[in-house]
Amino acid sequence: MNEAKTVAFIGLGVMGGAIARHIGQAGHRLTIFNRSPARVDRWQEANPGLATRVASSPADAASDADVVLTCVGNDDDLADVVLGPQGVFATLRKGGTFIDHTTVSAKIARQIAVEARDQQVHCVDAPMTGSQIGAEKGTLTLMCGGRADAIEAGRAVMEAYSSRIVHVGKAGAGQTAKMVNQICIAGAVAGLAEAVRFAQAEHLDLDKAYEAISGGAAQSWQMDNRWKTMAEDSFDFGFAIDWMRKDLGLAMDEGRGIGVSLPITALVNQFYADVQALGGGRQDTSALIRRLPRRGGK
């Protein structure tokens, strides 16, 4: 293992909790913080003795850290835990490293990078892909924006829970790469949902249909992992439609700012709104198929 570091992790949700576990298991000295103390208690019950200490605030968490990581909800949450009076940057030492895994706007990522530069702190915006399964297995892909030296400063910690670390560009580029990822997923899920419903209406053997098409140009991660579960109306896989709509909103906002039209993204975003109206906001993104009724077919 690389040299053990003192690491503070802020945000113990579905993804963050799993990441923090991997960091502790890799032998790093782990401090944890979550704005909801109950979540801290649950994490400690599931991971006894893995955290060296529990911090009272983000500033307290960062006070003795070599590396601080955040995985929170949105732009406002991130600004509060990083730039607020009790935020990370109030205490993180010069030469320390800050890594954010939240999916947020490129604007807030760039703002934080400027603040980090002024404080002589390494800064990486590193949204993730790989879903809850990837977080649990420690096989996430990280899309990193920032300076090369900042990414290298955080690499020893990031390797504890990822299988791929890609430096995609300057500050904010990690977030825009994540937008590209979500745009691709939105189109793939929408097409897959229609394909499954069409196959059902035609009374095809779904296993045979999958066998026939999954080895060719139609193949995708979504098909391999969600064809069968969509057909079974099983949608409990971690990444909620509510979060997908947040991410697609970020992509469309960024697109408007640079003059790029995203008509398919906008359409699928409205399809997801339909599923939210059906009460599916906390279901996995593959629940998009719920808006397509089953038909009797031939």
Q: Provide the pLDDT confidence category of residue 161 given band limits of 50, 70 and 90.
A: very high
Give the whole-angstrom CA distance, residue 84 versus residue 132: 29
Please identify which residue in the block is written with the tokens 């045979």. Answer: 208
pLDDT for position 2: 66
pLDDT for position 295: 76
Q: Provide the pLDDT confidence category of residue 140 given band limits of 50, 70 and 90.
A: very high
Q: Provide the pLDDT confidence category of residue 147 given band limits of 50, 70 and 90.
A: very high
Average pLDDT of the chain, as a whole number:
96
Q: Provide the pLDDT confidence category of residue 273 given band limits of 50, 70 and 90.
A: very high
Q: Is 189 helix (H, G, I), strand (E, B) or coil?
A: helix
CATH H-level, domain 6-171: superfamily: NAD(P)-binding Rossmann-like Domain (3.40.50.720)
Q: Is 69 helix (H, G, I), strand (E, B) or coil?
A: strand
pLDDT for position 57: 98
Q: What is the mean pLDDT of residues 249-277?
A: 98
Q: Give the residue from 139, 150, 16 showing the smallest Cα distance to 77.
A: 16
Beta bridge partners of 165: 142
Dump pLDDT digits (tens) for 8-50.
Answer: 999 999 999 999 999 999 999 999 999 999 999 999 999 999 9
210 Cβ contact partners less than 8 Å away, ≥ 6 residues apart: 223, 227, 228
pLDDT for position 298: 46
Give the whole-angstrom CA distance, residue 282 versus residue 275: 10
HSE-up (13 A, CA, CB side) for residue 78: 26
**Residue 178 annotated to the active site:** yes
Residue 223's CB: how many other CB atoms inside 10 A?
A: 20
pLDDT for position 182: 97
pLDDT for position 209: 98
Q: Of the residues 5, 107, 170, 178, which is catalytic?
A: 178
Percent of the chain at pLDDT > 90 equals 95
Pairing of strands 140-145, 128-129: antiparallel
pLDDT for position 243: 95
Dump pLDDT digits (tens) for 163-201.
Answer: 999 999 999 999 999 999 999 999 999 999 999 999 999
Q: Locate the domains of the chain by residue range.
A: 6-171, 176-291
Residue 151 has pLDDT above 70, yes or no: yes
Sign of CA dihedral 93, 85, 243, 270: negative
Q: Is 236 helix (H, G, I), strand (E, B) or coil?
A: coil
pTM of the entire structure?
0.93
Tell me, yes or no, if the two domains 6-171 and 176-291 fold the same way: no
Give the whole-angstrom CA distance, residue 15 versus residue 85: 26
pLDDT for position 297: 47
Fold of 176-291: N-(1-d-carboxylethyl)-l-norvaline Dehydrogenase; domain 2 (1.10.1040)
